[in-house]
């Protein structure tokens, strides 16, 4: 009997926790200027022959579908994945779905500055241009606070610091590619940024860890990084563009990642199916990224996402709403300095004051 009560209590607790996660996605902001950009589809992507494109976290979800479509369009795609086995399986799947595609696997663990430096060293040694860097990999809301190899909270360390360091180190290859056409850095943020706050007193959530608040903070920081990168690139007259995107809400492994109890995993699996049915599949979640990476209508420094219900759903990509705190340029400059200090990576450009 007591076992049954415990189990019931457990279920109620888990459901409550799940709805908290769902509720933590932001309400639609009717003031936000979200509008449609016609009916752009991947069929509109011009041939990408000769382009080298790097996608982080390309072994699953949005990253995989981004890599697949770009490869189908003729690009050479580098699938940067942390796990060799999952990476190989994704590469094999990609080659089955896109026969003749040009793609390679590379090992990159964004939760390790050593791995990022080693990865960048290998890419730079090839001395080949990089036309697009898609900062896609991400980790969301592990129940317990986890750390990267370098001791950073895992979401801030992976989603923010990892991509900051990678982008800075690969900037010479991106500059090298920006000859006839501008090269692009696309950073995947989230509508969750709207609930995010940068807690400069405790960016690593050491004093208090809330899984969703740390995720929201990391996604706010991703968006602020992309916007600040754009401002800095423009200030130096660079031909590299920075564009941010969010996928709305899509059925991917993001909701299932991390060590969880069997019940939690089961509930999340059900939630994922619901998300896929009611909101977006993983393939649909890749549309804003594909648009930002390839459309000629993209604005330097723009932020794009689905324009359907509450910005969560839809196959039409348009300008996405940016929360006021993401537009705070003083905080963005401060965040940049923190990222430089924590990663030891300085971007190879000078900002004219
Ligand atoms: N799905 C959504 O509704 C949603 C909403 C808003 C924003 N996003 C963003 O979309 C992006 C893609 O996520 P997804 O939804 O496609 O989820 P996903 O299927 O879980 O993909 C995340 C990818 O990131 C990789 N990754 C995690 N930690 C890494 C590390 N330390 N080094 C290298 N790669 C790492 C994962 O690799 P493993 O397979 O090895 O773990 C996986 O390939 C994320 O930035 C996420 O925040 C997603």
Range of weakest confidence among 5-14, 23-32, 45-54, 236-245: 23-32
Residue 109 domain-assigned?
A: yes
CA distance 214 to 160: 11
Interval 248-273 mean pLDDT = 83
CB of 258 shorter than 6 A to ligand 1: no
Residue 189 domain-assigned?
A: yes
Residue 352 domain-assigned?
A: no
CB of 254 shorter than 6 A to ligand 1: yes
Interval 338-346 mean pLDDT = 98
CB of 223 shorter than 6 A to ligand 1: no
What's the total number of domains in the chain?
Answer: 1
Distance 57 CA to ligand 1 centre (A): 6
Predicted local confidence at residue 33, as pLDDT: 32
CB of 62 shorter than 6 A to ligand 1: yes
CB of 222 shorter than 6 A to ligand 1: no
> Please, what is the Cα angle at 217 between 312 and 197, to 5 degrees?
100
Range of weakest confidence among 81-85, 120-124, 270-274: 270-274
Q: Which of 64, 215, 291, 303 is catalytic?
A: 215
Q: What is the pLDDT of residues 145-192, one digit of tens each?
A: 999 999 999 999 999 999 999 999 999 999 999 888 899 999 999 999
Range of weakest confidence among 106-110, 143-147, 269-273: 269-273
| R_g over Cα of the chain | 20
Given a cut of 50, whether residue 139 has pLDDT beyond it is yes
| pLDDT band with cut points at 50, 70 and 90 for residue 206 | very high
Q: How would you list the strands of the sheet with 102-107, edge to edge?
A: 102-107, 76-81, 52-56, 132-135, 183-188, 240-245, 303-306, 317-319
Given a cut of 90, whether residue 270 has pLDDT beyond it is no
Distance 352 CA to ligand 1 centre (A): 35
Residue 4 domain-assigned?
A: no
Given a cut of 80, whether residue 350 has pLDDT beyond it is no
Residue 264 domain-assigned?
A: no
Is the separation of the CB atoms in 336 and 228 below 8 Å? yes
> Please, what is the Cα angle at 298 between 294 and 301, to 5 degrees?
115
Smallest CA separation from ligand 1 atom 36, residue: 57
Atom of ligand 1 nearest to the CA of 250: 3
Smallest CA separation from ligand 1 atom 43, residue: 57
| pLDDT band with cut points at 50, 70 and 90 for residue 32 | very low
- Domain with 200, as residue range(s), is 43-248+285-343
Atom of ligand 1 nearest to the CA of 282: 16
CB of 158 shorter than 6 A to ligand 1: yes
CA distance 248 to 244: 13
Distance of CA 107 to the CA centre of its chain: 17
Distance 350 CA to ligand 1 centre (A): 32
Q: What is the pLDDT of residues 287-303, one digit of tens each?
A: 999 999 999 999 999 99
Predicted local confidence at residue 225, as pLDDT: 98
CB of 193 shorter than 6 A to ligand 1: no
| pLDDT band with cut points at 50, 70 and 90 for residue 278 | confident
CB of 138 shorter than 6 A to ligand 1: yes
Interval 115-133 mean pLDDT = 95
CB of 109 shorter than 6 A to ligand 1: yes
| pLDDT band with cut points at 50, 70 and 90 for residue 259 | confident
More confident of the two residues 18 and 348: 348
CA distance 26 to 192: 6
Would you tell me how many other CB atoms lie within 10 Å of the CB of residue 46?
A: 10
| pLDDT band with cut points at 50, 70 and 90 for residue 277 | confident
Atom of ligand 1 nearest to the CA of 63: 16
215 annotated active-site: yes
211's CB contacts (< 8 A; 6+ apart) are: 141, 142, 143
Distance 62 CA to ligand 1 centre (A): 7
Using alpha carbons, select from 95, 109, 115, 182 the residue that is nearest to residue 139. Answer: 109
On average, the pLDDT of the chain sits at 88
What CATH number did the domain enclosing 299 receive?
3.40.50.720
- Residue-wise burial string across 74-109, b where 16 or more C-beta atoms lie within 10 A, e elsewhere: bbbbbbbbbeeeebeebbeebeeebeebebebeebb
Given a cut of 80, whether residue 3 has pLDDT beyond it is no
Q: Which of 113, 137, 256 to mutate to test the pocket of ligand 1 (most atoms within 8 A of CB)?
A: 137
Residue 208 domain-assigned?
A: yes
Residue 10 domain-assigned?
A: no
| φ/ψ of residue 348, rounded to 5 | -80, 55
Predicted local confidence at residue 236, as pLDDT: 94
Atom of ligand 1 nearest to the CA of 252: 19
């Amino acid at each position: 009997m007591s076992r049954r009560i415990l189990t019931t209590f457990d279920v109620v607790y888990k459901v409550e926790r799940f709805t908290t996660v769902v509720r933590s996605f932001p309400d639609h902001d009717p003031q936000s200027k979200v509008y449609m950009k016609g009916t752009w589809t991947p069929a509109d992507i011009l041939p990408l022959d000769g382009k080298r494109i790097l996608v982080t976290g390309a072994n699953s979800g949005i990253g995989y579908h981004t890599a697949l479509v770009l490869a189908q369009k003729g690009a050479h795609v580098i699938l940067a994945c942390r796990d060799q086995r999952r990476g190989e399986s994704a590469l094999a799947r990609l080659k089955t779905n896109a026969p003749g595609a040009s793609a390679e696997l590379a090992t990159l663990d964004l939760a390790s500055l050593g791995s990022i430096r080693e990865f960048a060293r290998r890419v730079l040694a090839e001395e080949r241009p990089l036309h697009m860097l898609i900062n896609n990999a991400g980790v969301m809301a592990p129940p317990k606070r986890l750390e990267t190899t370098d001791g950073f909270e895992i979401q801030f360390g992976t989603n923010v610091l990892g991509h900051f360091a990678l982008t800075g180190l690969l900037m010479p290859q991106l500059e090298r590619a920006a000859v006839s056409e501008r090269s692009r850095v696309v950073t995947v943020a989230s509508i969750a940024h709207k609930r995010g706050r940068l807690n400069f007193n405790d960016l690593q959530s050491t004093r208090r860890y809330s899984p969703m608040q740390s995720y929201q903070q990391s996604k706010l920081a991703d968006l602020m990084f992309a916007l600040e990168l754009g401002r800095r690139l423009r200030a130096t007259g660079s031909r590299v563009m920075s564009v941010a995107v969010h996928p709305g809400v899509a059925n991917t492994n993001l909701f299932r990642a991390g060590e969880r109890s069997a019940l939690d995993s089961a509930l999340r699996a059900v939630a994922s199916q619901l998300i896929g049915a009611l909101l977006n599949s993983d393939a649909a979640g890749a549309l804003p990224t594909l648009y930002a990476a390839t459309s000629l209508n993209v604005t330097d420094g723009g932020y794009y996402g689905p324009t359907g219900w509450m910005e969560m759903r839809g196959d039409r990509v348009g300008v996405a709403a940016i929360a006021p705190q993401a537009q705070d340029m003083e905080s963005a400059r401060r965040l940049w300095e923190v990222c430089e200090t924590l990663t030891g990576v300085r971007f190879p450009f000078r900002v004219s004051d």
